[in-house]
Structure 1
């Protein structure tokens, strides 16, 4: 059966060397939906360059990149990537079936993750294999949330990996040994991809993790540091200020819960916030009391005047019809923290931990703290207290007997 080539080699159109005109790189690819050869031109990067030499050098570089990608099966179509270079003509006559199969076989991180998991299944003990599989799935899930999952693997650089590990540390609150296992597993996956000639460099490097005896958890603010950062945030970024107070007073988790919180979830009459189960961490709905200080801030921000379906933390510094990016608030907080030269142990989560500690110090019962945190059992609350604040005893601090002969 005659076979059709799926692409034409990229070439440079240079307008006869006239840099006052548009130059572009043109390539051809076959659309698997209708079997027809299509053209694609790229000219943006070339148009920014003002000399013939610069344009030709850039064109040579881009032609190599596009040729390599096309050779691996990539096409410019957003939803069809990395097909084989040749395909039977018969398959084009059954375009719908082919297209459906191609979508299932897209060679993105899902495809290669599955390939890697299959590779190690027979080489690892069952428990080790399940650990590897779980971590690759977690990485893929995070990429999906960040809308990066369909990107070419070559675009995953060290910054992408660093953001994933920030997520594990700041939002997932994983223990140091667990995070180190993630680093090893994800690193081995990309090493495998190098061996398969999919990528040329492992992006898992220079991950700045704490030393062995250091805690990954976000550190609660010291009073002096809170006095430095909170007024500055309030003055310069009122939305970030509100988001910080939602953590501090109501322990709204700054990831999925905060970003999905809508105006309708705030009951101004009862002065409560409802976290519905579809966005709650443990898929269990909880109702949180709003302390007076936060309630006043919500009213000053006019939250009650916005549409019920609007996201409380929306774009443009006010409630909106769409969510902001997953890392937006954390990035804005980090800038304030770094500009004030505060410890990097302070994370976006630190407001939540600080509020929990202050509520505990104010004389609140363990049950009150448990309910406000949204814990389902008191054991989790005790574990939380020990992790973030240590074992505390008013009796030890104030009533410890002095040794004989001690002069204070």
Structure 2
């Protein structure tokens, strides 16, 4: 027999032996004899293709240790063992794969939510993340309450999500249900992007028709009354003028730091609802700014009860502080709940649009206004203007009289 024939036969025999031997051992659980203060894990061995011998692989405890009850730990470790076994059955080979087995694991519902919350913490703004976190935590509580805690996220189906959204709507409102739907859709998009689930189950769940909440615009007499009352709240007065003259949202005003303001160019650059924007500061507002020369760039323009200072509160809490101040003013004036500090934005956009319309066509007026308000498109601005009734028709009494006269003939 030639040497090459012997080599080929030996190689074939070795390959035949390996192919007929089990590639891995059934994953087992180490539970520290039920002691939940110690590390629990799943372990298994896999046959080394070079030596042909079974070799112990690194133990896996992904997500198990955070369960602090014996019942919870037992359920979690069993699910982890089953997950590891499924992955091995599906062809995972630690000697060929570039990913570790705990990186391709199946996530439980709770683990999936925690994963996405951690992933998005640095991606979202503080206010966005706070709302997103709150809605996912509520979803997590519902999943746990309904027996989904130790089930894979892939086992949650569209029917379950729709049921949860219906419960949210019954308990609160259609608007809150729709906002929760947006949060869950974002959650599933992140799972899809990280290969944890195959599809976004929420994207094709329809939006419910909801009664829109509208902040009314002020009339001239209300504005005058407010102006008189706000004299006792000088910082609130400037806060309102940033909303009125710069058309910023209240939370955006709260974000302004000294470094955001370019005193030479009379501009402010800040994070808005649609991204980072640079806006001019009109002279009518610029003239009322305090002296900021030499102040640290990270200092807030609007502090608690005063201008320019450090305020460690969250931006949402800072926004609420100024909303509460205005609530005192409007309550004293007997204004209804339909009027909020946000109403100033609607009021002054309406005023400016009507002023432009005295000389310009609707399209020209919208084009000028877009540069000021920051709306992304004509369609977005037109919808906004319709919602706040920025343009009203002239008195059409004569038309009605003519129509009545014609019908009698």
Q: TM-score, normalised by structure 1?
A: 0.49
Q: Say which one has the larger Rg.
A: 2
